[in-house]
Amino acid sequence: MRDRKSFPKRLTSPRRTTAISAPSPTDISHEFMDLALEAAHCRELPTFLAGLASRASEILKASWGAVGEIHGHKVELHRRNVQIPENAVDRDWIAANVKLRRTGLEVLPWEGQSSFCVFYPIYASDQELMGTLCLRRSTPSMSAEEERLLAALASYAALVMEKVRRFSQLERSKKQWVEDIDAISDYIVVHDQAWNIVRTNRSLASHLGIPPVALVGEAMRTLRHIAETGSALPCPFCQNTVELREEYIATGEGRTFIVSTSRTRGATEEDGRTIHVLKDISDRREAERRYRELFDNIQEGLFFATPEGQFLDVNDAMVRMLGYESREELLRADVSAHLYPTRAAKERLVQTIAERGALRNYEETLRRKDGSLLHTLQNINAVRDPQGHIVQIRGLMLDVTEQKMFQSQLQRERDFNQKILNTTQSMILVLDTAGLISYANRRCFEAGYRQEELIGHRLGRLVENSHQQDFEGALQTTAHGQQVENLELRVKRSDGSMGYFSVSLSPSRDESNQVNSVVVVMTDITDAVLLQAKLAHTEKMATIGRLVSGVAHEVNNPLAAILGFTDLLLEDPQVPASAREELQIILRETQRTKEIVQGLLSFARQRPAQREPMQINAILRQTIRLRNYDFSSHGVEVTEEFNENLQMAVGDPQQLQQVFLNILNNAYDAIQESGNHGKIRIRTRQTTDFVEVAFIDNGTGVSETERIFDPFFTTKPAGKGTGLGLSICYGIVRAHGGEILCWNNEGESGSTFVVRLPIATETALAASMEAGR
Amino acid sequence: MTARTDPALAPILLIEDEPSVSAFVRTALERKGYRVVQASTGAEGLHQLATETYGGVISDIRMPGDINGADVHQWIQLNRPELGARIILISGDTANSETQSLLSRGSTPCIEKPFRVQQLISTVEKTFGKP
């Protein structure tokens, strides 16, 4: 671009020179008239401006003329004769000058063309620079006349440019408006008071498949097939003729429209216009319908409620769930007071939503209309306004009552089973496939076993060696799916002693019916076993007693005759001495038989001869005194461990002395046989109901403890005893309502005999007084 | 207890079902000079008591049939009160509860089988007197 500084100094007051061949005033006035005509008929501004430039050149004797029109930053040159130098450099220089705001005429030398360029600004009425009139002249000077002409031409140009600009602006905005209207997808139709179409937008026309202009003047009723509001008016979209503004629904051809109607009042009655805007809401309607369908048919309860919990809308499932007749009934009154069993429950809900804005899987128990409880699972969202205040809560509600009931029933069953497991008097254990204990119920620990000695260990460890095979066999059977019931095993108790246990093993199966564990139920039946053994023994002894009693009777008669006749024979002096000796033997043996029978009868005796209160310790001391000499001379030591506060027992002291003596004699014999340094401990003890006497010796022990009290059972050499001593003791003690027991000492030699006698209660004493009379 | 009557005039009634025992007792008593009438059942004994006069009665307690020693004892207390203190019972089983209760009621002497001749004679002499 050319540097303006290199330009000669601006001529603010150009020299006026006389024109060499100036056009006559008539010509000039003709030119101006033509110009006015052109301006009036101007359709194209560039043509007019080019024409104006050309006339200006002629009038002002310029070799080249142009009107530079400013469009924002750009400059457009309008001229007719373009043969005069038009290179890019010149054009840029001209354009730059066109954009300069000047107060009036400026003449600048046109460098390289040896000429001058005259610039005259064209201002709009609002002082906006619209362009510049440019003329190339050979001289820089300009007459006042010429300058006036130039100003007139520029103002002409300004007048026309402004007019054209305004016009085109109007055109543009009108066109824009139509385009805008046409761009609206809603149908727009304007009709007059005569119900004829004045305008429609493009989308309505294209819906009908015709250009918009084709509809102008047609009657509104031709649009009836699009939609109708149902009114009797000639316009299918009008509901009345007076409302200035209204909105309603119109339907047709399976579509639904929302019709917005506006009415304008014209200057006269006929000028009034009605504008209908038809918005197709079919899709929205469909979406709404689907939503409503979903809302109504979904099995879960849906609700909209105020932030305080008052229902605004609910679906049918919700109504059903809460046991109401209808949606209306549920919405009519504020049911929340009834709905929430406690006021606190509702407040908690409202509070939580206010704090968190949402609740996920919230469990709540509600009350149905009939008062029954409904267990629900809810998901709730809060809807907030732009200020963040909660305006509504929306939620989904599931009826989980059945699951809850099932769950609680399951829980109850579990509790019930747990209770059984915990309270049963049987030990219940579960063994895994490896035979290791994986579970033990509470009873096991109550019985004294420790967790660490059971869990993870083999149960077989506790079973007595001689029963191992039975137990392992039972395990095998169970592993093959069979149940084993009431296996009697000797099992080590927690205190180390062996007890009798009834053991049942049941297979437990997994989903694929494979035995995956064994349930073992163990009951300590030691007491029962011992009691049963005792009962069996008692029963046996009673049977023997009856038998013996019968035999003794039958034997007594012949024995009486034998004894009697033997006596008579011995009294007879005629009997020779030799026969007398033999009769003596008969007599002796008969008497021995008599003693045996009497012993048997003592064993079988039903009740003691005497019943009186007795001091057991005293009877014992008396008995010991009887044998003391014998014992000490044979190195047998008797120690007395007496409870001196022993209560009295009831019975026959004589008979009991016989019992104690018999036991002592037996102990003495057993010690003699063993060759041990003899020791007999006699201990008395008080229990709740009994006085207990224990004789603990260190003799040979008893070979068959269970038969020791049987009549004629003896381990002594033949002739040493009748085998009735302990049987008689048994009979006596039983007759006293007591019991006599015998066992071999554990871990040491010898045996223990225990005699238990009932204590002298008042009733027992009264009974003894009665019997004594 | 001693009774001073004339045993020669009235015999002793022996009620005993066991023949060998009955024979031994009769022999023993006759050797001492007593007269003895035997009955082998309780019923027979009561018949004898109702028809004849006796100086004393020796009866076994347990006997077959409807009438045992206890019944005989009771009959005598009711119908022959003069013989009430002249009864000796023979028992094969003193341990029997029935016998026990009978004996505990009064002072009737009882000899337990098997017994010696001396035992029998001393009891008879004490109860009935010497012949």
Residues B56 and B83 sit within 8 Å (Cβ to Cβ): yes
Tokens of A725: 């001593």
Question: How many other CB atoms sit within 10 Å of the CB of residue B39?
Answer: 22
What pLDDT does A179 receive? 86
What are the CA-CA distances from residue A548 to residues A160, A231, A543, A706, A719 (Å)? Answer: 162, 128, 9, 19, 21
DSSP per residue over A91-132, as a string?
HHHHHHHHTS--SS-EEEEETTTTEEEEEEEEE-TTS-EEEE
What pLDDT does B9 receive? 66
Confidence of residue A756 (pLDDT cuts 50, 70, 90): very high
* Contact with chain A for residue B93, Cβ under 8 A: yes
Does an H or E element contain A328, and which? helix A327-332
CB contact under 8 A, B113 and A604: no
The strand pair at A187-192 and A129-137 is best described as unpaired
What pLDDT does A538 receive? 78
DSSP state of B11: P
10 Å CB burial of residue A133 (0-12, 13-18, 19+) is: buried
**Angstroms from A579 CA to nearest CA on chain B:** 19
Strands of A245-252's sheet, edge to edge?
A197-200, A187-192, A273-280, A255-264, A245-252
Question: Which residues in B lie closer than 8 A to residue A553 (C-beta atoms)?
Answer: 62, 92-93
What pLDDT does B106 receive? 73
Measured distance between the N- and C-terminal CA atoms of chain B, rounded to whole angstroms: 16
What pLDDT does A20 receive? 45
Residues A600 and A546 sit within 8 Å (Cβ to Cβ): no
Residues A487 and A474 sit within 8 Å (Cβ to Cβ): yes
The answer to which of A32-46, A332-346, A486-500, B94-108 has the lowest mean pLDDT is B94-108
Condensed to tens digits (0 to 9), the pLDDT of residues B37-50 reads 999 999 999 999 99
Question: Which residues in A lie closer than 8 A to residue B23 (C-beta atoms)?
Answer: 561
Condensed to tens digits (0 to 9), the pLDDT of residues A286-345 reads 888 888 888 888 888 888 888 887 888 888 888 988 888 888 888 886 777 788 878 888
* Whole-number Å distance between alpha carbons of A572 and B64: 33
Tokens of A293: 């369908």
The strand pair at A612-614 and A649-651 is best described as antiparallel
The amino acid sitting at A188 is I
Minimum CA–CA partner of A598 in chain B: B93
CB contact under 8 A, B95 and A568: no
* Contact with chain A for residue B81, Cβ under 8 A: no
Among A564, A594, A607, select the one facing B117 at the smallest CB separation: A564
Does an H or E element contain A555, and which? helix A526-571
Q: Mean pLDDT across the stretch B92-97?
A: 64
Nearest to A522 by CA among A438, A465, A440, A417: A440
Among A556, A568, A571, select the one facing B24 at the smallest CB separation: A568
Find which of A553, A567, A589 to mutate to test the B interface (most B CBs within 10 Å of its CB). Answer: A567
Residues A136 and A115 sit within 8 Å (Cβ to Cβ): yes
Phi and psi at A674, nearest 5°, equal -75, -25
* Whole-number Å distance between alpha carbons of A53 and A38: 13
Size of interface A-B (CB pairs under 8 A): 67
CB contact under 8 A, B23 and A590: no
Confidence of residue A21 (pLDDT cuts 50, 70, 90): low
Higher pLDDT, B3 or A438: A438
Nearest to A590 by CA among B121, B117, B96, B23: B117
**Angstroms from A445 CA to nearest CA on chain B:** 53
Residue with tokens 């119900």: A195
Nearest to A713 by CA among A558, A537, A482, A592: A537
Confidence of residue B4 (pLDDT cuts 50, 70, 90): very low
- The 8 Å CB, 24+ separation contacts for A149-152 are A149/A28, A149/A59, A149/A60, A150/A56, A150/A60, A150/A105, A150/A118, A150/A120, A151/A104, A151/A105, A151/A120, A152/A32
Confidence of residue B27 (pLDDT cuts 50, 70, 90): very high
* Whole-number Å distance between alpha carbons of A126 and A161: 13
What is the complex's ipTM, to 2 decimals?
A: 0.88
Question: How many other CB atoms sit within 10 Å of the CB of residue A279?
Answer: 15
Question: Which residues in B lie closer than 8 A to residue A549 (C-beta atoms)?
Answer: 93, 95
Residues A52 and A126 sit within 8 Å (Cβ to Cβ): no
What pLDDT does A766 receive? 62
What are the CA-CA distances from residue A270 to residues A191, A197, A236, A265 (Å)? Answer: 11, 13, 20, 9
The strand pair at B87-91 and B110-112 is best described as parallel
What pLDDT does A609 receive? 59
* Whole-number Å distance between alpha carbons of B112 and B115: 6
CB contact under 8 A, B114 and A601: no
What pLDDT does A5 receive? 40
What are the CA-CA distances from residue A469 to residues A156, A419, A458, A594 (Å)? Answer: 134, 34, 14, 53
Radius of gyration of chain A (CA): 68
* Whole-number Å distance between alpha carbons of B126 and B118: 12
Q: Is the pLDDT of residue A17 over 60?
A: no
CB contact under 8 A, A549 and B93: yes
Higher pLDDT, A335 or A278: A278
Tokens of A683: 């201990």
Residues B20 and A561 sit within 8 Å (Cβ to Cβ): yes
Minimum CA–CA partner of B28 in chain A: A568
Nearest to A503 by CA among A524, A529, A482: A524
**Angstroms from B61 CA to nearest CA on chain A:** 12
Question: Which residues in B lie closer than 8 A to residue A606 (C-beta atoms)?
Answer: 95, 97
Nearest to A752 by CA among A761, A762, A744: A744
Question: Which residues in B lie closer than 8 A to residue A584 (C-beta atoms)?
Answer: none
* Contact with chain A for residue B23, Cβ under 8 A: yes
* Whole-number Å distance between alpha carbons of A404 and A604: 71
What pLDDT does A86 receive? 64
Condensed to tens digits (0 to 9), the pLDDT of residues A33-74 reads 887 787 777 778 888 888 888 888 888 888 888 899 998 888
CB contact under 8 A, A568 and B18: no
CB contact under 8 A, B27 and A549: no
CB contact under 8 A, B92 and A556: yes
CB contact under 8 A, B114 and A563: yes
Residue with tokens 């004339």: B6
CB contact under 8 A, B20 and A558: yes
Question: Which residues in B lie closer than 8 A to residue A559 (C-beta atoms)?
Answer: 113-114
* Whole-number Å distance between alpha carbons of A605 and A544: 12
Question: Which residues in A lie closer than 8 A to residue B115 (C-beta atoms)?
Answer: 560, 563-564
What pLDDT does A731 receive? 84
Question: Which residues in B lie closer than 8 A to residue A601 (C-beta atoms)?
Answer: 93, 95
The dihedral of CA B111, B113, B118, B120: what is its sign? positive
Residues A282 and A254 sit within 8 Å (Cβ to Cβ): yes
The amino acid sitting at A689 is D
CB contact under 8 A, B20 and A602: no
* Contact with chain A for residue B24, Cβ under 8 A: yes
Q: Which residues in A have their CB inside 8 Å of a CB on B?
A: 549, 552-553, 556-565, 567-568, 571, 590, 594, 601-602, 604-607
What pLDDT does A613 receive? 85
Q: Is the pLDDT of residue A18 over 50?
A: no
Alpha-carbon torsion angle A765, A771, A773, B2, nearest 10: -150
* Contact with chain A for residue B80, Cβ under 8 A: no
Among A552, A560, A601, select the one facing B115 at the smallest CB separation: A560
Q: What's the whole-model pTM score?
A: 0.43
Residues A431 and A459 sit within 8 Å (Cβ to Cβ): yes
Condensed to tens digits (0 to 9), the pLDDT of residues A115-161 reads 889 999 999 888 889 999 998 888 888 888 888 888 888 888 888 88
Tokens of A221: 């009723």
| Mean pLDDT, chain A, integer | 84
What pLDDT does A81 receive? 65
Minimum CA–CA partner of B100 in chain A: A609
CB contact under 8 A, A560 and B28: no
The answer to which of A421-425, A578-582, A759-763 has the lowest mean pLDDT is A759-763
Q: Mean pLDDT across the stretch A683-711?
A: 87
Minimum CA–CA partner of A587 in chain B: B116
Condensed to tens digits (0 to 9), the pLDDT of residues A450-473 reads 989 899 999 988 998 989 999 999
Residue with tokens 């035992």: B119
**Angstroms from B41 CA to nearest CA on chain A:** 15
What are the CA-CA distances from residue A654 to residues A631, A659, B52 (Å)? Answer: 21, 9, 46
